[in-house]
Structures are given as structure tokens and as C-alpha cells.
Amino acid sequence: MKNVLLKRAAAVFAAGWLAVASAPAAHAAEPLPKLSVTVFAPPSQSIWIPALIQRAGLDRKHGFELVVTPKPSNVAYTDFATGRDPVCFCAAIAAVSRFKQQGGNFTLLWNIFNFESDIVLRDPAINDPKQLEGKVLQTDTITGSWALSKWFLQARGVDLGKVKIKSSSARGAAGLAELQLGRIDALLVNPTEGAAAVAQGKGALHALPVFDKAVWQKAAGTDFVPSITFGVANDWIAQKANQDLARRFYAANRDAAAFIRDNPAEAARLVAKDAQVDVAALQTVLERYRDLMRIEPLRKHIKTVALLTQKLLPEGGQLPRPLTDAELDSLVSNFDVEAAHE
């Protein structure tokens, strides 16, 4: 009888020990919370940071799993504005401000990219944007980059009424073919596409930057233009679990941007496939625009956003009217993304 009791006690002890020992393993096996984000389809630069976060494991480092969905610009904006996609990693201030005026239920948490765009040309004689007058310029006019490009071109003296604007969402090789075949005179694209086009042109193409630091400093008193931001639906960020996810994602964004600045060659190697850009061309962009990524809470720059949305963009015809103070306050979130996540 004594032996039976001893055996039973041993069995109970063993079962308890196994339960305790297996608890950490079971906890470790719990799936990480997932964050699904929409980006513009490659070769858009909006895919760089999410792709690097995935490739370098920065999402898991910060305790979440990132899921990235590339979409054409018009689809991405429609889905974000209508609430179909609650999280957008490609929310250009100049573009989504229109949606806010139409009652869009979203807010912008942090800046990702400063404004930069390139004009790619075949004619070596064109070395000033004013020479675009009388020419055909192709670009994607649905994007916020076009809205800001339009403002800068006008501020630099270009009469856009004398430029034929051909709108197309075709990216990469499709746009380059139009230029090489002589169907258009110029291609206005993001820096990645510009560098890739010039590289593929093998000396036959050159690029002019649209951003002019002196023009912007005169207008705003700052040295950069907040442009592409991280936007979320108000209902989404109101949930505590999503607030924690947003803070984790912000920390991963900061890590990714620092990695790109410090290791442009390795970053290009990791991201080129997802970006659908040649490694060498992407490395050139990352080295040329080391300050292109500026991951900071957008609320810190609300005065600059106010200048854009309440004066410059409406005056340039890129917004039908200035944002009201209430719309501006709703557009630029005061949520503290830099607070410690749980």
C-alpha cells in the first residue's frame, strides 16, 4: 500500500513539474500580434521601411508580426479614405487632406519621408524646370507627391498651363518606355524611380530635382517638407491593443531608418527585390538622400502642416480650400507614439 501511495505521489509531482516546465515554452509559442499595413506598389519608396523591417526581423524584435500589402496608388487611397484599409503607410499629406475635407475618419501619426521628386529627361539641353514649358510631362497625378511637385514647379516659375500633363499610374519600365520612345518629354517620379531610370538609360537620360531648399526655406523657414506619413483610422487607433502595436511599429520604423542611413549598401541588398529596383540604383538613392527618411511624430511639425494645408496647397490649387483649424487638429494626431509600449 505504501509503495502505491509513493508511486501516486511521484506521478502527481512529475505531472506538476512538467506543467510548470512547459509553461514558458507554451508562452513563447504564442503567436505575435499582427499588424497589416498598405503600401504603394513597387517601385514606390513606401515599401522600403516595411520590407526592411520584415527582412531584418525588426518586427519580431519589437514583439509583432508585420504583414505588408502593396496596392496601386489609386486603390490604396480609395481603400484608406473609405475605411476599408485602417492602416496606410503611404498617406501623403497633400493627398489625404482632401479626404479629411470630405469627412474622412482617419488621422496621421508620424512622418516617414520628406518630400523629394525627380524629373527624368532625354534632352540634355534641359537643365531648368522652366524649360518644361511646351513639353509633355508624365506623372501620377493621384499622389501627394504630384501635389507638392506642382507647388514647387510653380514656385520656381514654371507656367504649368504651358506644360501638357499626362497622368498615368504606370510605374517603372512602363513609364521609362514612354520616355525612351519619345512619346513624352519628361517623367516626374520619386527618387528611386528616377535613379533607376537614369541607370537604365546608360548615359542617355538625366534627372533634375524638384525640391528646392532655398524656395522652401523662404516659404516655411524649415529645411524639409513632411510628405509621406503613417495614417490610421480613428476607430483603429482608439483600441488599446492597436495603440500598443502602433508604438511597436514606430520603434521598428526608427530602427529601420537608422539602419538605412548607416548601412545603405546592405539596406539596398535587403530591400531591392521587394522594391523591384536594381540594387546599385537603390543604393545610389539611399546614399544620395540620407535624410529622406525622418521618422518623427507629425504633431511636432503641425505648424508646417498648417502652412501646407491652410496656405500653400490651397493657393496652388492642390486643395479646393484651406483646412479649418478643426480639420487640421483632426488630421494631425496628438497620440503619443513615443511612449513606452506594453
Q: What is the pLDDT of residues 99-115, one digit of tens each?
A: 999 999 999 999 999 99
Specify the residue for cell string 549598401.
265
Residues 247 and 297 both lie in one domain:
yes
Q: pLDDT value at position 43?
A: 80
Q: What CATH number is associated with residue 258? A: 3.40.190.10
Q: What is the percent of the chain where pLDDT is above 90? A: 68
Q: pLDDT value at position 28?
A: 52
Mean pLDDT of 252-267: 96
Looking at 220, 240, 275, the residue that finishes a domain is 220
Residue 18 in any domain: the answer is no
Residue 11 in any domain: the answer is no
Q: Which residues contact 272 (CB under 8 A, 6 or more apart)?
A: 278, 279, 282
Q: Which residues of 295-318 are buried (b: 16+ CB within 10 A; e: fewer)?
A: bbbbbebbebbbbbbbebbbebeb
Q: Tell me which of 16-25, 153-162, 331-340 is least confident.
A: 16-25
Residues 98 and 244 both lie in one domain:
yes
Q: pLDDT value at position 29?
A: 61
Residues 216 and 229 both lie in one domain:
no
Beta bridge partners of 229: 91, 111
Residues 233 and 102 both lie in one domain:
yes
Residues 104 and 87 both lie in one domain:
yes
170-193 confidence digits (pLDDT tens): 776 788 888 988 999 999 998 878
**For all residues of the chain together, what is the average pLDDT?**
88
Residue 293 in any domain: the answer is yes
Q: pLDDT value at position 147?
A: 82
Mean pLDDT of 271-276: 93
Residues 99 and 238 both lie in one domain:
yes
Q: pLDDT value at position 4?
A: 47
Looking at 220, 242, 265, the residue that finishes a domain is 220
The boundaries of the domain holding residue 255 are 34-114+224-331
Whether omega before 43 lies within 30 degrees of 0, making that bond cis, reads: yes
Residues 97 and 236 both lie in one domain:
yes
Residue 42 in any domain: the answer is yes
Number of domains in the chain: 2
Looking at 180, 197, 220, the residue that finishes a domain is 220
Q: What is the percent of the chain where pLDDT is above 70? A: 90
Q: pLDDT value at position 142?
A: 77
Residues 173 and 291 both lie in one domain:
no
Q: Which residues contact 322 (CB under 8 A, 6 or more apart)?
A: 309, 310, 311, 314
Q: What is the DSSP letter of 332?
A: B
Residues 251 and 305 both lie in one domain:
yes
Does residue 78 carry a pLDDT above 90?
A: yes
Residues 250 and 127 both lie in one domain:
no
Residues 109 and 249 both lie in one domain:
yes
Beta bridge partners of 226: 114
Specify the residue for cell string 531584418.
56
SS3 217: helix
Whole-model pTM over 0.85? no
39-49 confidence digits (pLDDT tens): 999 888 899 99
Residues 145 and 90 both lie in one domain:
no
Mean pLDDT of 67-82: 94
Residue 166 in any domain: the answer is yes
Q: Which pLDDT band, with edges at 50, 70 and 90, does 195 fall under? A: confident
| Grid cell for residue 166 | 499626362
136-147 confidence digits (pLDDT tens): 999 988 777 888
Does residue 17 carry a pLDDT above 80?
A: no
Q: At what angle do helices 240-262 and 264-275 cross, to 10 degrees?
A: 120
Does residue 91 carry a pLDDT above 80?
A: yes
Does residue 199 carry a pLDDT above 80?
A: yes
Query: Which stretches of 52-146 are assigned E, i.e. beta strand?
Result: 65-71, 87-92, 106-114, 118-121, 136-139
Question: What is the rounded CA–CA span in Å between residue 256 and residue 248?
Answer: 12
